[in-house]
Structure 1
Amino acid sequence: MSRILVLYYSSYGHVRTLADAEAEGARSVPGTEVDVRRVPETVPEEVRQQAGYVVDDTPAALPIDLENYDAIIIGTPTRFGMMAGQMKSFLDQAGGLWARNALVGKVGAVFASTGSQHGGHEATLLTTQVPLQHFGMLIAGMPYTFAGQTTSEEIIGGAPYGAGTIAGADGSRTPAETDLAGARFQGAHVARIVACLAGSNLQAEAA
């Protein structure tokens, strides 16, 4: 069995919805086991309530958990054109895994939610991939074989760099069906890559 982790942070539920779609897509590939986990919240509860953050009862992950998976699909909202601080804090705690090359050869992918079409959507997808490459992971995007990303008939998220959605300035938009289809596509795409790599040892010896 291939093991895939969908790891996300979500304030208002958009990324969590995409995470479930990513997991659904990955599970559609035979021989794939998927866990959905969130990163711990760093915002005080009082602030969360005032800001209207949604309650999330998804189990939280620990950085050490990452080495137990063949692939890690990361979801984050956009914060000023970059990943959310909660996700960055989580990844910053994975230095021990980096030091041991524990994630080398694993597949990594990213999806995101942004308030507006030009609010840093692609920048967030691309910059979130950077630490994954420092870990030595193999990056999977969302290729144009998912034709939904080229539509101009509606506002959609996603790019060749990963799936996504546009939440609207007030967060009132929910992921479009095209967005969810893109997330399912990406999850399955990652799972198929992992299946192809199964049995291969890509962990390089330190030079």
Structure 2
Amino acid sequence: MPYILILYYSRYGATREMAQQIARGVRKTGTMEARLRTVPPVSPNTEASEPAVPDSGAPYATLDDLRGCAGLILGSPTRFGNMAAPLKYFLDTTGGIWVNGDLIDKPAAVFTSTSSLHGGQESTLLSMMLPLLHQGMLIVGQPYSEPALTHTRTGGTPYGPSHLAAGDQPAELSEHEITLCQSIGHRVARLARQGAPDHGDEA
């Protein structure tokens, strides 16, 4: 089954929770697998390394995961209005994929989590779109036909799902945030399926 790659970095768990809800939206199509992958943290100490397999959560992403996806949904907490360094580090290794054009015309979306409502959600989402545009991907936004986007009082933007990680339980998503995460997953999967080659398996 073709898959949507949900590639994220999460430090405290909120972005991971969003990724899991996005995966639920992908699976609702019944025609796409949701493949969750993460990236290891980076350190100024270049001798520091992570084990090949993380102790818990999603496996670390490989370039083959990215190369073979039917669509990509990229997620990161905000770091000074930008994506986190571990995710940027991984994207910086994808030059071979860019040269080969492996991601051209595939749908892509982005999502983020911040500790404050005006802590750089939209600029972080826009920063994650830039390398996807260079890869020739088709950016998928969140249309206002989704009522949760209008009614949310927590996270949610037309550029992609977001989460306000504030309060006593920062990883707990609001009802609207969950709806928007599932909606973007379903939308990217549906568009990826429409753009897939017709093998005669369905009308």
TM, length-normalised to structure 1:
0.85
Q: Which residue does 1:104 correspond to in 2?
A: 104
CA contact (8 A) 1:116 1:169 kept: no
Pairwise CA distance, 1:105: 1.3
Q: CA offset at residue 64 of structure 1?
A: 3.5
The within-5 A match list for 1:1-207 is 1-43=1-43, 56-151=56-151, 154=153, 156-168=154-166, 172=170, 174-199=172-197
Unaligned stretches of 5+ in structure 1? 45-54, 201-207
Which amino acid is 1:195 matched to? R
Change (3 A) 1:173 1:39: closer
State the shift of 1:85 in Å. Answer: 0.5
* Maintained 8 Å contact 2:12/2:171: no
> Which segment drifts farther, 60-69 or 167-176?
167-176
Q: Determine the C-alpha separation between the residues in 1 that align with 2:40 and 2:171.
A: 25
* Equivalent-residue separation in structure 2 for 1:110 and 1:94 (angstroms): 17
Structure 1 CA distance, aligned partners of 2:9 and 2:56? 10
1:75 alignment partner, SS class: strand
Q: Secondary structure at the match of 1:34?
A: strand
Residues 115 and 171, structure 1, Cα contact 8 Å, conserved in 2: no
Q: CA deviation at 1:165?
A: 0.3
- Aligned-residue offset at 1:171: 7.2
Q: Are 1:2 and 1:194, in contact at CA under 8 Å, matched by a contact in 2? A: no
Percent identity between the two aligned chains: 41
Deviations 1:65-89 (A, max 9, x none): 2011110101100000010001100
AA of the residue aligned to 1:168: A
CA contact (8 A) 2:17 2:171 kept: no
Match of 1:118, SS state, is coil
Offset of 1:174 from its aligned partner?
2.3
CA distance in structure 1 between the aligned counterparts of 2:186 and 2:20, rounded to whole angstroms: 12
The number of residues matched between the two structures is 188
Does the CA-based 8 Å contact 1:115-1:170 persist in structure 2?
no
Kindly state the Cα deviation for residue 163 of structure 1 after the two structures are TM-superposed: 0.6
Q: Is the 8 A contact 2:73 2:109 kept in 1?
A: yes
**TM score, norm. by length of structure 2:** 0.87
Q: Is the 8 A contact 1:117 1:157 kept in 2?
A: yes
Distance 2:174 2:168 in 1: 16
| Residue 133 of structure 1: how far off its partner (Å) | 0.4
- Measure how far apart 1:56 and its partner are: 4.0
